[in-house]
Structure 1
Amino acid sequence: MREVCVIGGSRYFGKRLIGRLLSAGDRVTVVNRGSAAPPAGAVHLVADRDDEGSLVRALGSRAFDVVVDQVCYTPVQAQIARRVFAGRVRRYVMTSTVEVYEYEDSADPVGEDAVDPRTVPVDPGLPWGDPEFRDAHYGEGKRQAEAVFAAEPAFPYVAVRVAHVLGGADDFTGRLAHYAERIRSGEPVAVPAVNRPATYIHVEEIADFLAWAVGEEFTGPVNAASHGVLGLEELCEAVSGGLVAGGEDGGGGGRAAVFRVGPADGLSPFAFTRSYGMDNGRATRLGFTFTRTRDWLPHAVTETLGTPH
């Protein structure tokens, strides 16, 4: 039986991950601020991961085979985690993001070597404690957090660079609902002059991927994305199709989305001025089998919008 610690994980694919670990027979300890109880069967520790003393007190003498950190957004948080878990964990899995590639504009899907965390400068003096700053520098925060875990002396870590996640009736982001409302009303969708595609992953698939990664031995960055890039136009077509299939298109009769070029600071979700395609070849070679985005997209739309399948 593995001892696994999950930091955060109270919603969306985090809670699915915990369920999978428990079903596999792992002993799971969940650390969060107490805002939500973990699934039945998990040990619950209440601590603020930004407060090093709080985290140390909550953990006590516990040690783990693997830590899965779902809520590490800044280098300061990574530094605290590295100090606290050094010597008490065999392997550390950080949930990172495709946003670490925000400066790597390529027509081809990017591989992990496009951003080497060992070369990323770390500046813990930036105002990472300010939520507005942190949100505005999401990709940079994740990049620098990865750099902390990658620094010498070596700390055995994995940075799972997650594609944009879709699906689930509990999708709290409201991104697909954004398009459903505009298709119903005929309100235009704000896009850049040239809209670039991206890679995506289903909420159940990323939970599968993280559960798989817990049981593996590899380290370093790894991309997690379903096969195939997807443009916003195709995503909106799927939303429109889901509304029609559910008989709930607001009288639009299968009306298509209307696109209009908008300002850079007012673009719709998944409207990108640069490509966010990721190469999932490393994970595939390591043994994970991804699905194809276009195969699960219609289901993801209907389950998220609550329309009949």
Structure 2
Amino acid sequence: MREVCVIGGSRYFGKRLIERLLAAGDRVTVVNRGSARPPAGAVHVIADRNDEAALAAALGDRVFDVVIDQVCYTPVQAAVARRVFAGRTGRYVMTSTIEVYAHLDADGPVPEDALDPVSVRVEPELPWDEDAFLDAHYGEGKQQAEAVFAAGTGSAGGFPYVSVRVGHVLGGTDDFTGRLAHYAERIRGGEPVAVTVPDHPSTYIHVEEIADFLLWAAGEAFTGPVNACSHGPLTTADICAAVQAVTGGEVVLRAAGDGEPASPFAFGTAYGMSNARAEELGFRFGRTADWLPKAVAETLSA
């Protein structure tokens, strides 16, 4: 039986991950601020991860085989975690994002070495505690959080780390993002959908598949960044077509004007990910064509 700590994980694929860990026979400790109870069978530790002293006190003398951090968004949070979990865990898995590559304009699927976290400048003095700043710098925050963990590997008090760079997640009746609903509303009414030109494809993963991937990654021995996405990139037009098949209506695409925000999943640069490293390590991804219709239908039926 493994001792596993999940930080966050109160909704969407984090909740599914906890259920999988429990089903596998792991003893799971969930750390959050008390906003939501974890699934039955998990130990619940209430603490604010941003408060280093409170987090350390709440954990007491607990030690873990692996920590899975679902809610690390900034270098400040990563630095707190490095200090608090030093000597407490044999492995640290951080949920990162495809958006660490958003500054690129790539010709093909982006491999992990397109962004070496060791090369990222860490700026803890920036206003990471301000919601508006964090929202506007989501990818940069994740880059710098990865960099903090990478810098600690091999150092005194460090631990092996993995950063799972997750593709855009779709599916589930509990998708709280409202992104597919954005398309459904416009397509039902025949209203234009603002897109970038060209309509760059990106990489996606189903909510159940990313929960499976995180469970798998927790039990492996590899370290460093790893991309997690299904086979088969999707354009905005592809997603609109899948939504139209469920809602009816008419798809009307128009180019977003200068300074106008495009619709969700419409990207000004190409940075779809390669999943080759994960597959070489032993994980087998599905194909977007196989799960996209179901993902759209279940989300829009909620």
Same fold (TM over 0.5): yes
Aligned to 2:274: 279
Paired residue total: 298
SS in 2 for 1:64: coil
2:240 and 2:40 map into 1 onto residues whose CA distance is 38
- Aligned counterpart for 1:161 among listed residues 149, 152, 165: 165
Matched, 1:193 2:197: yes
Among 195, 219, 234, the residue aligned to 1:230: 234
How far apart in 1 are the matches of 2:239 and 2:252? 10
In structure 1, C-alpha distance between the alignment counterparts of 2:256 and 2:33, rounded to whole Å: 41
- Alignment match, 2:29: 29
Q: TM-score, normalised by structure 2?
A: 0.97
1:207 aligns with 2:202: no
> 1:45-84, aligned counterparts within 5 Å?
45-84=45-84
Distance 1:134 1:191 in 2: 24
**Corresponding position: 1:113 with 2:113:** yes
Q: Secondary structure at the match of 2:113?
A: helix
Matches within 5 A, 1:3-152: 3-152=3-152
Amino acid at match of 1:201: I
Deviation string, structure 1 residues 19-51 (Cα, Å, up to 9, x no partner)? 000000000000000000000000000000000
> How far off is 1:265 after superposition?
4.4
Question: Gaps spanning 5+ residues in structure 2: where?
Answer: none
CA RMSD of aligned residues (A): 1.1
Distance 2:99 2:253 in 1: 27
Question: Aligned AA for 1:282?
Answer: R
User: Aligned partners of 2:111 and 2:52: how far apart in 1?
Assistant: 34
- Whichever residue aligns with residue 31 of structure 2, its letter is V
The alignment partner of 1:62 has SS state of coil
Contact preservation (8 Å) 1:13, 1:203: yes
3-state secondary structure, aligned to 1:222: strand
Tell me the secondary structure at the aligned position of residue 297 of structure 2: helix
2:218 aligned with 1:241? no
Q: State how far apart, in whole Å, the 2-side matches of 1:55 and 1:218 are.
A: 27
1:193 CA displacement: 2.9
Q: Which runs of 4+ in 1 moved over 6 A?
A: none
TM-score for both structures, normalised by structure 1:
0.94
Q: Following the alignment from structure 2 to structure 1, what is the Cα–Cα distance between the partners of residues 279 and 264? A: 28
1:221 aligns with 2:216: no
Aligned counterparts of 1:136 and 1:145: Cα–Cα separation in 2: 16
Preserved CA contact (<8 Å) 2:192 2:251: no
Does the residue aligned with 1:57 lie in a helix, a strand or coil? helix
Q: How far apart in 2 are the matches of 1:123 and 1:195?
A: 33
Question: What is the identity, as a one-letter code, of the residue corresponding to 1:211?
Answer: L
Report the Cα distance in structure 1 between the residues aligned to 2:102 and 2:159, rounded to whole angstroms: 26
CA distance in structure 1 between the partners assigned to 2:262 and 2:256 by the alignment: 8
Q: Bigger shift: 189-198 or 29-38?
A: 189-198
Would you say the 8 A contact 2:109–2:271 is kept in 1?
A: yes
Are the aligned partners of 2:75 and 2:123 in contact in 1 as well (CA < 8 Å)? Answer: yes
Partners of 1:260 and 1:119 in 2: how far apart? 35
What is the distance in 2 between the residues matched to 1:276 and 1:44?
38
Does the 8 A contact of 1:67 with 1:92 survive in 2?
A: yes
